[in-house]
Chain A
């Protein structure tokens, strides 16, 4: 209880509160604009947060991460375009509801479910933290190495139909992380004698290029469009309260969000799928799913909003990010020389609690903001796409250039912008590159220190947790191949599936 209170004390500061307010309101707006998502916003703001204290900077970024999904539900419901990737499933039921004249109800349910999902997940995790603090010290170098390897394996096999592409991109990420002067033997790796490559390829430069600049290029290249929307009328408060009729589904959705959010690489989508399937199977009206079912909407939104809190677990407890957004947040820790890992949970549990309390506060701020602002947001999301492209490019400059005032960084970022554009057009994932850079670096360091005490290969897995993770890796790979064989046997016509579900996944 003492650590909990000291966590609350950490938060009770003007600058933290201000960062939280800016992050959460900003996150909603960014999430609501189709074409910009939390990844773009976090990438741009990262360098600016380096000058802040870790808690202030992280609160702002967490604010954007957690609140963007609230905002993203607005265009998903109203114009059938998910504001962020994880709102894709929301369009299936939210938009049909809007079309049948229930826009207010759809929005209210989406916000309410997001709120419930968020709060339930955070409370579960706060209660669970003391247990984690006991487990985390059992992770030594080899366990963390294996966990990072598990992350790489998961991110590769999660991309069905593009496994090879995901594999080559993850390997490309690992390669990018090795470029430059390595810090142990002081040799140059793949610098081709170029001075500007000696300091390596900066993660933030790559992230800004792949997420922000590429998105600007896509928007500038595409024909102009500005979504048309209608005003929402009626009381949002009473629409919000309606979510209480679906408490059971929201709680199960949040549960799946927590469980899946902790596993690197699979997060929101698996959680949403499991929660959606559960809701449909237990529904009295399963045929309505996909045609405007309130239960489907609640299942989808409660699951996705439970993920951010859970995704912080592997990041804080092991220093292993599971997806792009937490990978970006990891760099905030690195800049301040706070290395997240088992020691953080042991020695600075109050810091962890403070982050969770900040997330609760964030959910409250956002839901209050949402009560009044839907019509305002509807006006904001009508920014024409090409002008939005100009805006993102302008903001990307300050993100890249302010890192170290280097024109070569900007050139590298622009190059990755073009690569990112090609990947988006090719429907190929960007996340494996980012995870490759981050997890590759972790694997290199941890393997080196782990091997010092390992004599035979079996020594590597002679501890319970390392044996467990190693078994999970083998099992996942076997199951992947088994899944492919099963899929081959039960051939379904290809066009009966939704081919574009990933279109919004990279914003």
Chain B
């Protein structure tokens, strides 16, 4: 019990480097939404306040602005924790993986689920430093297993690849249904 002293400890969270940047960004985003309220929601005539379509977005945005303002003030008056720039760079580094993900999304309708998944897993594993034959085999095996589990077994809805059109009839319908 030496580290957890009271009930609050289990709930309490502490600030981390870069908190000011996040607090400021969120506050500005909330302000942007606040400014846009008049254009983006409608106050309908002859309707009670609580049934207005604009009622809840307005409440939510006003709360966002209020809470994020206090959060920002909290960050401003607290001692600065070193490492802000590194932290922001860390956040920006994740954009690379978001792009990998979107590339995968773009390729699936063209190459089909099976081929795109094998390619995605293989290339991303290679990028992450798993370059030996063993890891390449593991990533291919994983990709094939995922495709079989979700497409063939669970029958989730995924589009057939454009390149499947070029396949002979029998194989084409099999590929479109199962892989």
Contact = CB atoms under 8 A, between A and B. Distances in A.
A407 B16 contact: no
Contacts of B129: 224, 386
Interface in A207-247: 213, 216-217, 220-221, 224
Given A174-B60, A391-B142, A498 B9 contact: yes
Contacts of B125: 387, 390
Contacts of B106: 407
Contacts of A414: 98, 101-102
Contact of B94 (A160, A221, A384): A221
Interface string A40-64: 0000000110010000000000000
Interface in A488-507: 492, 494, 496-499, 501-502
Nearest to A495: B14
A21 to B, nearest CB: 15
A401 B113 CA distance: 11
B61 interface: yes
A397 B12 contact: no
A390 B139 contact: yes
Main secondary structure on B side of the interface with A: helix
Interface residues of B, number: 83
B73 to A, nearest CB: 9
A272 B4 CA distance: 11
Contacts of B98: 217, 414-415, 417-418
Interface string A250-267: 000000000000000000
A308 B6 CA distance: 24
Contact of A394 (B5, B13, B19, B146): B146
B15 interface: yes
A421 B91 contact: yes
A290 B2 contact: yes
A448 B47 CA distance: 11
B156 to A, nearest CB: 4
Given A390-B128, A398-B156, A402-B157, A497 B91 contact: no
B105 interface: yes
B161 to A, nearest CB: 13
A189 interface: yes
Contact of A425 (B90, B104, B121): B90
Interface in B79-124: 87, 90-91, 93-95, 97-98, 100-102, 104-106, 108, 117, 120-121, 124
A425 B146 contact: no
A395 interface: yes
B94 A407 contact: no
B154 interface: yes
Interface of B: 1-5, 7-16, 18-19, 22-23, 26, 30, 33, 36, 40-42, 44, 47-48, 50-51, 53-57, 59-61, 63-64, 66-68, 70-71, 74, 87, 90-91, 93-95, 97-98, 100-102, 104-106, 108, 117, 120-121, 124-125, 128-130, 135, 138-139, 142-143, 146, 150, 154-159
A127 B97 CA distance: 50
Interface residues of A, number: 92
Contact of A190 (B14, B40, B51, B67): B40
A322 to B, nearest CB: 15
Given A187-B53, A390-B128, A426 B18 contact: yes
A48 B56 contact: no
A428 interface: yes
What are the 5 tightest A-B residue pairs by CB atom distance, in nearest-first order?
A167-B67, A171-B63, A168-B67, A175-B60, A164-B71
A143 B129 CA distance: 55
B41 A187 contact: yes
